[in-house]
């Protein structure tokens, strides 16, 4: 067998291990009985170890070296390039460090749960310090001549191709522009929230109906409930979404459904014909998030979308009356807020900019765990304009750091930025865009995303996929202009020229 | 590390691989979307291959040899003995034969589905012949000096310790005795069936209630729906049951729930402190089936059980009225029938005796695929007293042969025989047995099974576990006497002396 055949056979095995582990994780978050936790931990750890052993094995490096010297077609060259990057990362980190990190993550997570519950940072601090030390060690083990900044090595884990050099100036401009917007909205009367009580069964049926209408293939996926909504791909033909429902907060559950539907349609649209190359995977978390945010925010919070939805709600709950305008207003309330996951479409990005700023300083060695509560509050004061009364709603609010996910946060705002420019290109390419949304015809929109994003897989990194579609558009300007237009309409303000 | 430490660490890995595969299978039969079939096949095949590679690896044989020469305690000795038997089986069969069988099973299953659908044996016949040839080859590869009959090598796969020499005379006597019973019941008026329409949600809630009452731990397991009810253990703390519901056939769904509950309580009662030895597993399918049949039939079709159940049904469906006597009659209708899975508690065993007789003749080389339709009908005429009008309800009715499961059928009746003698011992040890059932107090009964069966794991084979509890009781007589007493009461006949 030649090196290409052997490499792709190995990757297919790795895909199976990976998707089997994803299936176990999905089950853990949906149906697994509580007493199974330890057993499930053993199963997952074994599959992960087998994955690592079989990917970082010397023969894989050998096949890659042979292929790098061979005459390859474009797809093969892209696959070898991608797998070389991943392989080098997999073998670069000493296994003692991998184990120490895994241990620190488990301990960190448990300490964080207890600390958040008790609203007391001090018990979490030593565990967090350990995670910071190991993360810096990890970043420096991964860092190479190509990395201009040690944080880039962490970004590569979640969003390959993203760099501090590119993100920092974009995030700086975005933060300033959003503050101008929020200042303009402040003091204007808020639209009313939507608190009509709607039964869960009806909400679930509407969620499934909306997903089908958007183009999510229910024969190759499903929707379940979980405490925290998520999407996971269990391999070809199997994309699982979860959402949640609140009787008196219909819009929250709907937003989760549409958001996860965006992730799910991306997974369903990946180029399956490239199975065995790793090129058929998502290009990164930023572009993944662009898909969920595009559907959740640009489409799902628009007035035409609520014009599509309101009569369908009326059919399900005939004793209530629903107004598209009222739903539109309620879905676009804006407020400088403390909690990232509960914040609006504009403020959300300020929460991310805070975390990005702190994480870069952490990796640069400028912040230790003991400094973080104060640094957090200071960054919130400057960037978001609010300060948490205690750690629970401040530095302890997110799970990410406790589980060692440094470098993940930026992808949320990168997703919003990508989505904003994709949307503008779509409006240009599909002149009847809003008419289609209002009529519930989402096929052309999904088709555009299939062609320009989903089918690209990971043949190139996300920034290249983005630029190939949007040309020299400015995503910061696209996002800010969209927010002024959307939220300005709701609050009755226009952007100063 | 010494050989014992290495062996038990490997077995823990094998347990994780096995239970992960079981989780994927559970998902496939409950929630998996249809388009995921091929992906799931790849995942499962990989986990099975990894299991086989890691179990049949030469180092495992080396550890076992070292331990066989070492000074061991009783548990260790039992573990080494069990794993040696399994290891020798795993390495005895040439891998080319394993692959040929796996291929023939896949093709056989698909051909069987189509043939049953078309009610035409001829298209299945060549695939079945291939399975017969490979199964005989397999039995002879496994057969050793210890096996008195080549079929014993197949029994060892599902019910270690069972032999043709022991089963044949028991099955012969049982067949004759059951025919005496069925002749006595024939011509008597049947009790009325129970066809009250009950909503599925209520049936599901009652199923969960009954499972909790029986002693199934819902924190370490769950109940879902599937086309064919089954039970699977996904490791410590995770036992999954499925059942099904029919609006106008409440007793069918209830029977499935109680049956699977019996399997599930056995799985939950296995000796988890022996993890890493394989001794913490079920001792075989026969004893597994004894647990499901004991609860489903001996308890679950009794008048005291319906006295426990009827008021709980009344509370759920207050507009209906339920009589314990009526439910008891309906649950004990007896009829010489064509279809195994739909047959009553007595006739069921005749269906199994037919299959056992044919399978033994197959393995002895006395029957080929082409002979089976005629041999099937002839055996049904003699043993069950009915003949199928066409293959669909005759030789094509079961999935087992199409998937190469030769040697599995006897365990169903072995289970009924074990259950009958266990029940008589319980009546001796728990004088208030039926009073407890009527009051819904199942703790002492479950406790008896925990002590005498579940906690024994697979330290010895099932026949030894059985004999240690029942002494020299005759299980054929116990089963026949129970059926005369139960069904005689319903039909108003008494056993001739």
Per-residue pLDDT of A91-102, as tens digits, reads 998 889 988 998
Query: Which of A34, A36, A201 to substitute to test the interface with B, most B CBs within 10 Å?
Result: A36
Structure-token pair, residue B94: 């040439």
- Taking the CA of residue A193 and the nearest CA in chain B, the distance in Å comes to 34
Q: Where are the alpha helices (DSSP H) in B56-120?
A: 58-68, 74-92, 95-118
In Å, how far are B441, B447, B448 from B451, measured between CA atoms?
Answer: 17, 6, 5
Residue of B nearest to A17 (CA): B43
Which tokens hold the place of B356? 């056992």
Gap between the Cα atoms of B197 and B249, Å rounded: 7
Neighbouring residues of B419: CB distance < 8 A, sequence distance ≥ 6: B289, B290, B291, B293, B294, B297, B298, B479
| Cα(B365)–Cα(B490) distance, integer angstroms | 43
- CA–CA dist B254, A310 (Å, integer): 42
pLDDT of residue A145: 60
Locus of tokens 């765990």: A369
- Interchain pair A235, B33: CB under 8 A: no
Q: What is the DSSP letter of A222?
A: E
Name the band, by pLDDT with cuts 50, 70 and 90, for residue B9.
Answer: very high
**What is the reported pLDDT for B6?**
98
Cα nearest neighbour of B16 on chain A: A43
Distance (Å, whole) CA B286 – CA B302: 22
pLDDT band (50, 70, 90) for residue B1? low
Question: Kind and range of the H or E element at B254?
Answer: helix B250-269
- Quick check: A144 pLDDT over 90? no
Residue B145 pLDDT > 90, yes or no?
Answer: no
Residues of A in contact with B16 (CB under 8 A): 42-43, 46
pLDDT at B358 exceeding the cut of 80: yes
CB B402 within 8 A of CB B124: yes
| B200 Cβ under 8 Å from any chain A Cβ | no
Does the pLDDT at position B95 exceed 90? no
Give the whole-angstrom CA distance, residue B245 versus residue B247.
6
Strands B239-243 and B221-225, by their bridges, are parallel
pLDDT digits (tens, 9 = 90+) for B276-332: 999 999 999 999 999 999 999 999 999 999 999 999 999 999 999 999 999 999 999
**Residue among A40, A218, A237 minimizing CB distance to B38:** A237
Segment B250-285, tens digit of pLDDT: 999 999 999 999 999 999 999 999 999 999 999 999
* pLDDT at residue A143 is higher than 90: no
Which helix H or strand E contains B240, and what residues bound it?
A: strand B239-243
Q: Is the pLDDT of residue B453 over 90?
A: yes
Neighbour-count burial of B144, counting CB atoms closer than 10 A to its CB (0-12 exposed, 13-18 middle, 19+ buried):
exposed
B134 contact A CB<8A: no
Is the Cβ of A241 closer than 8 Å to some Cβ of chain B?
no
Question: Which is nearest to B79 in space by CA: B265, B217, B279?
Answer: B279
Q: In this prediction, does ipTM exceed 0.85?
A: yes
Mean pLDDT of chain B: 96
C-alpha to C-alpha distance for B137 and B92, rounded to whole angstroms: 12
List C-alpha distances in Å: A239 to A97, A286, B32, B122. 33, 19, 10, 40
d(CA A442, CA A440): 6
Cβ A42–B217 below 8 Å, yes or no? no
The string of pLDDT tens digits covering residues A73-114 is 999 999 999 999 999 999 998 889 988 998 999 999 999 999
Q: Is the pLDDT of residue B44 over 80?
A: yes
Q: Would residue B260 show up in a list of annotated catalytic residues for this protein?
A: yes
Average pLDDT, integer, range A345-361: 98
> Which of the four pLDDT bands, split at 50, 70 and 90, describes residue B430?
very high
Q: Which residues contact B225 (CB under 8 A, 6 or more apart)?
A: B30, B204, B242, B243, B244, B245
Q: Does B238 touch chain A (CB under 8 A)?
A: yes
DSSP A69-134: TS---HHHHHHHHHHHHHHHHHHHS-HHHHHHHHHHHHHHHHHHHHHHHHT-GGGTHHHHHHHHHH
pLDDT at B146 > cutoff 70: no
Q: Is the dihedral of CA A70, A71, A77, A79 positive or negative?
A: negative
Burial B470-497 (b: 16+ CB within 10 A, else e): beebebbebbbbbbbebbbebbeeeeee
- Burial of A127: CB neighbours in 10 Å, binned 0-12, 13-18, 19+: buried
Partner residue opposite A237 with nearest CB, options B13, B33, B222: B33
- Summarised one tens digit per residue, pLDDT across range B11-43 is 999 999 999 999 999 999 999 999 999 999 999
pLDDT tens by residue, A287-320: 999 999 999 999 999 999 999 999 999 999 999 9
CA distances from B330 to A127, B229, B323, B334 (A): 64, 21, 11, 10
Query: What is d(CA B418, CA B467) in angstroms, rounded to the nearest whole number?
Result: 10
Element holding A433 (H helix, E strand):
helix A433-438
Between A410-429 and A462-470, two packed helices, what is the crossing angle to 10 degrees? 30
Residues of B in contact with A46 (CB under 8 A): 13, 16-17, 20
Of the candidates A249, A289, A191, the residue with the CA atom closest to the CA atom of residue A487: A191
SS3 B225: strand
Give the separation between CA A235 and CA A12, rounded to whole angstroms: 11
The pLDDT value recorded for residue A401 is 96
Q: Is A225 helix (H, G, I), strand (E, B) or coil?
A: strand
Query: Quick one: residue B407, left, alpha or beta (phi over 0 = left, psi -120 to 50 = alpha)?
Result: left
B434-444 mean pLDDT: 98
Domains of chain A: 3-147 (no CATH), 148-497 (1.10.1370.30)
Please give the model's pTM, rounded to 2 decimal places: 0.94
Residue A148 is predicted with a pLDDT of 87
Nearest to A219 among B16, B20, B34 (CB): B34
Burial class (CB in 10 A: 0-12, 13-18, 19+), A134: buried
DSSP three-state, residue A402: helix
CB atoms within 10 A of CB A343: 19
Q: Is the minimum CB–CB distance between A100 and chain B shorter than 8 Å? A: no
* CB-defined contacts A:B, below 8 A: 110
Those of residues 4-43 in B touching chain A at CB distance below 8 A are 12-13, 15-17, 19-20, 23-24, 27, 31-40, 42-43
Q: Which residues contact B495 (CB under 8 A, 6 or more apart)?
A: B181, B184, B481, B484, B485, B488
For chain A, state the CA radius of gyration: 23
pLDDT tens digits, B384-393: 999 999 999 9
What number of other Cβ atoms are within 10 A of residue B292's Cβ?
24
């Amino acid at each position: 067998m030649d090196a290409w055949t052997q490499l792709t056979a190995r990757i297919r095995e790795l895909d199976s291990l990976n998707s089997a582990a994803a299936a176990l994780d999905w089950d853990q978050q949906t149906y697994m009985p509580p007493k199974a936790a330890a057993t499930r931990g053993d199963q997952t750890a074994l599959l992960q170890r087998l994955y690592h052993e079989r990917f970082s094995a010397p023969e894989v490096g050998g096949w890659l070296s042979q292929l790098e010297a061979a005459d390859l077609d474009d797809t093969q060259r892209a696959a070898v390039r991608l797998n070389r990057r991943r392989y080098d990362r997999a073998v670069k980190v000493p296994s003692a460090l991998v184990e120490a990190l895994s241990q620190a993550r488990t301990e960190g997570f448990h300490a964080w749960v207890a600390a958040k519950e008790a609203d007391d940072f001090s018990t979490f601090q030593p565990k967090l310090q350990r995670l910071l030390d190991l993360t810096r060690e990890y970043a420096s083990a991964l860092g190479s001549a190509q990395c201009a900044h040690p944080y880039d090595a962490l970004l590569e884990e979640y969003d390959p191709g993203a760099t501090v050099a590119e993100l920092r100036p974009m995030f700086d401009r975005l933060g300033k522009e959003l503050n101008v917007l929020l200042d303009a909205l402040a003091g204007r009367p808020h639209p009313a929230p939507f608190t009509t009580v709607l039964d869960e069964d009806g909400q679930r049926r509407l969620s499934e109906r909306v997903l089908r209408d958007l183009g999510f293939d229910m024969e190759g996926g499903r929707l379940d409930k979980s405490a925290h909504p998520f999407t996971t791909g269990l391999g070809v033909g199997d994309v699982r979404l979860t959402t949640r429902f609140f009787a008196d907060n219909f819009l929250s559950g709907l937003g989760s459904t549409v958001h996860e539907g965006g992730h799910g349609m991306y997974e369903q649209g990946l180029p399956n014909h490239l199975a065995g190359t790793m090129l058929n995977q998502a290009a990164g978390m930023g572009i993944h998030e662009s898909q969920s945010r595009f559907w959740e925010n640009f489409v799902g919070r628009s007035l035409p979308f609520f014009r599509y939805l309101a009569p369908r709600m009326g059919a399900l709950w005939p004793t209530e009356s629903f107004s598209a305008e009222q739903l539109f207003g309620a879905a676009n309330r804006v407020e400088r807020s403390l909690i990232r996951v509960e914040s609006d479409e504009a403020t959300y990005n300020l929460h991310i900019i805070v975390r990005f700023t702190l994480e870069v300083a952490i990796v640069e060695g400028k912040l230790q765990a003991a400094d973080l509560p104060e640094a957090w509050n200071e960054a919130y004061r400057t960037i978001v304009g609010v300060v948490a009364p205690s750690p629970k709603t401040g530095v302890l609010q997110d799970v990410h750091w406790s589980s060692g996910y440094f470098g993940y946060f930026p992808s949320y705002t990168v997703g919003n930025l990508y989505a904003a420019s994709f949307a503008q290109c779509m409006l240009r390419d599909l002149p009847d865009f809003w008419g289609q949304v209002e009529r519930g015809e989402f096929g052309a929109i999904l088709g555009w995303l299939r062609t320009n994003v989903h089918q690209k897989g990971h043949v190139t990194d996300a920034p290249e996929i983005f630029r190939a579609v949007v040309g020299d558009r400015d995503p910061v300007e696209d996002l800010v202009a969209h927010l002024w237009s959307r939220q300005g309409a709701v609050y009755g303000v226009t952007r100063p020229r």
